[in-house]
Amino acid sequence: MPRTHHRKQEAPAEKEDGCRLDKWLWAARFFKTRSLAADAVDAGKVRIDGDRAKNAREMKPGMRVSIKNKDMQMEVEVLALSNVRRGAPEAALLYRETEQSQRLRQQAQAGGADQFAERDRGMGRPTKRQMRDIQRFTGRE
C-alpha cells in the first residue's frame, strides 16, 4: 500500500488590520516580554481611552493608550499595528507620545534629580551619624 505524505498546513497570513493589546505593547517595546505586558494589563496599569482593557482587546490606529510602569507613566496614540517585535527605531513608529505626557515625564525627571543627595562614587552607604546629618540638612526628621 503506498504511503501518503501529509503536508503541514501553513499558518494563515497575519492580518495587520488588528492585533491584541498585549502583543502590541510587546511589539512597541513597552515591556520586555509579552507575559509582562499581559500582567500589566491584568493589573490595570494599561488603559485604552481611559478605560481598563483586557489582553485580547483589538487595537486600532487612533486609540489612546495610558501605560503606568514602575519607571514611567506615559500616554501614547497608536499610529500603526504590529504583531512582530522589531528594533527600537521601527517600534517607535507604532506610536506617538502625547505632548501632555512628554511634559509630565520631563517634569518628573527634573523633579526627581534633586531628591537624592550626591555622594562620591565608592563611598559606600552612609553611617547612622551621616544619615542623621543628611536628614537634618534636608529637613526630613
Domain holding 68, by residue range, is 19-99
Q: Is 7 within a domain?
A: no
Cell of 3: 504511503
- Does 110 map to a domain? no
The verdict on residue 133 lying in a domain is: no
Q: CA-CA distance, 26 to 10, in Å (whole number)?
A: 25
Domains held by the chain: number: 1
Which three cell numbers, joined as nine digits, stand for 81? 499595528
Is 141 within a domain?
Answer: no
126 pLDDT higher than 90: no
| CA–CA gap between residue 17 and residue 89 (Å, rounded) | 21
What confidence tens digit (pLDDT) does each residue in 33-75 have? 999 999 999 999 999 998 898 988 999 999 999 998 877 789 9
Q: What is the structure's pLDDT at 119? A: 66
Q: What CATH number does residue 63 fall under?
A: 3.10.290.10
**Residue 42 placed within a domain:** yes
Whether residue 83 is contained in a domain is answered as yes
